[in-house]
């Protein structure tokens, strides 16, 4: 992850707008809300596949899912996006047709006509922003600048993104370094990385802003990583963890959203990686995008693994 620097739009410049949406019926009683501590540029045009449907909001992993998902299959490189420059931090849209990621100092966006096809050549959106997380309706894009969480919005999935605005998190001091945002599928909860050491949860209040709820200390408080990903239901969480200088993906689960997660375990992938990080899940939990390098000294690239009902 890069240090905090001034960011700019690659193409165009639209006024900043904060990601604030009032709580509706679908957001009432958000996850973890009662589990507290004390204490853009580009024209955004897509192929002519028609308007994007809002992503699934009621289906997820174990307990919420219509089936039990099995283990992830062998990861495959996202070859059409990988270059000699290296790529990190993927985030996939709810329909699987739009992907955001970083390459060098830029945050990029690529699209495809169907989930069975490859992504078209991508275009940079922002510079010096990292860790994208696209909302399930495709209208909010959360990022970090190395110390703060920001959000860009657009009026519809074919409209351009506006200049990102800082997202205040009530209950967290401004001196706390916030990284790796992940917005829940229902839009009510924002998972955050605190200075690469721990993962925290903030939920929307009645005004649509975010309020800190608690730190997920059961996942560890010296992670050397974080950067979480959750699917609908929020019963599994994927994140990166560094042990003796080696960073790899880990996973933890829970029976319900008002319970703590189980002790995290390394994610078993049917391919050996020297390093793996930056997980991103499809809303139904069946597809995992992540960044990894095969051997020490290699460039980081984007990979994808899928799983299906058992």
> Residues 6 or more apart from 135 whose CB is under 8 A from it?
141, 142, 183, 187
What's the domain count of the chain? 1
Instruction: Give the pLDDT confidence of 293-309 residue by residue, as tens digits.
Output: 999 899 999 999 999 98
Do you know the residue count of the chain? 310
Residue 3 lies in a domain: no
What's residue 17's pLDDT? 53
Residue 102 is part of which domain span?
A: 8-306
Residue 2 lies in a domain: no
What's residue 22's pLDDT? 55
pTM for the model stands at 0.84
Domain containing residue 103: CATH number: 2.115.10
Percent of the chain with pLDDT over 90: 72
β-pair type (140-144, 130-134)? antiparallel
Q: How far apart are CA 85 and CA 306, in angstroms?
A: 25
Percent of the chain with pLDDT over 70: 79
Rounded to an integer, the average pLDDT of 273-290 is 96
Residue 195 lies in a domain: yes
Q: Is the alpha carbon torsion for 145, 26, 279, 138 positive or negative?
A: negative
Residue 209 lies in a domain: yes
What's residue 310's pLDDT? 84
Residue 295 lies in a domain: yes
Residue 54 lies in a domain: yes
Residue 1 lies in a domain: no
Residue 95 lies in a domain: yes
Say whether pLDDT at 256 is over 80. Answer: yes
Say whether pLDDT at 225 is over 60. Answer: yes
């Amino acid at each position: 992850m890069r240090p905090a620097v001034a960011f700019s739009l690659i193409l165009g410049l639209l006024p900043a707008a904060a990601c604030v949406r009032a709580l509706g019926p679908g957001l009432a009683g958000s996850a973890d809300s009662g589990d507290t501590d004390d204490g853009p540029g580009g024209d955004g045009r897509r192929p002519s596949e028609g308007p994007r449907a809002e992503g699934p909001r009621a289906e997820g992993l174990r307990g919420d899912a219509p089936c039990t998902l099995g283990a992830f299959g062998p990861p495959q490189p996202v070859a059409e996006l990988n270059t000699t420059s290296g790529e990190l931090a993927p985030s996939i849209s709810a329909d699987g047709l739009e992907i955001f990621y970083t390459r060098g100092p830029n945050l990029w966006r690529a699209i495809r006509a169907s989930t069975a096809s490859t992504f078209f050549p991508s275009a940079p959106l922002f510079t010096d922003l990292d860790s994208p997380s696209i909302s399930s309706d495709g209208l909010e894009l959360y990022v970090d600048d190395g110390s703060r969480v920001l959000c860009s919005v657009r009026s519809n999935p074919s409209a351009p993104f506006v200049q990102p605005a800082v997202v205040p998190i009530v209950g967290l001091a401004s001196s706390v370094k916030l990284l790796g945002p992940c917005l829940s599928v229902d839009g009510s909860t924002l998972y955050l990385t605190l200075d690469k050491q721990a993962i925290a949860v903030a939920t929307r209040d009645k005004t649509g802003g975010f309020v800190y709820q608690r730190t997920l200390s059961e996942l560890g408080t010296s992670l050397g990583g974080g950067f979480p990903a959750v699917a609908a239901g929020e019963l599994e969480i994927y994140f990166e963890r560094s042990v003796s200088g080696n960073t790899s993906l880990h996973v933890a689960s829970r029976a319900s959203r008002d319970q703590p997660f189980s002790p995290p375990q390394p994610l078993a992938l049917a391919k050996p990686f020297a390093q793996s990080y930056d997980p991103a899940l499809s809303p139904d939990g069946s597809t995992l995008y992540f960044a990894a390098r095969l051997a020490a000294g290699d460039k980081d690239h984007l990979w994808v693994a899928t799983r299906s009902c058992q």
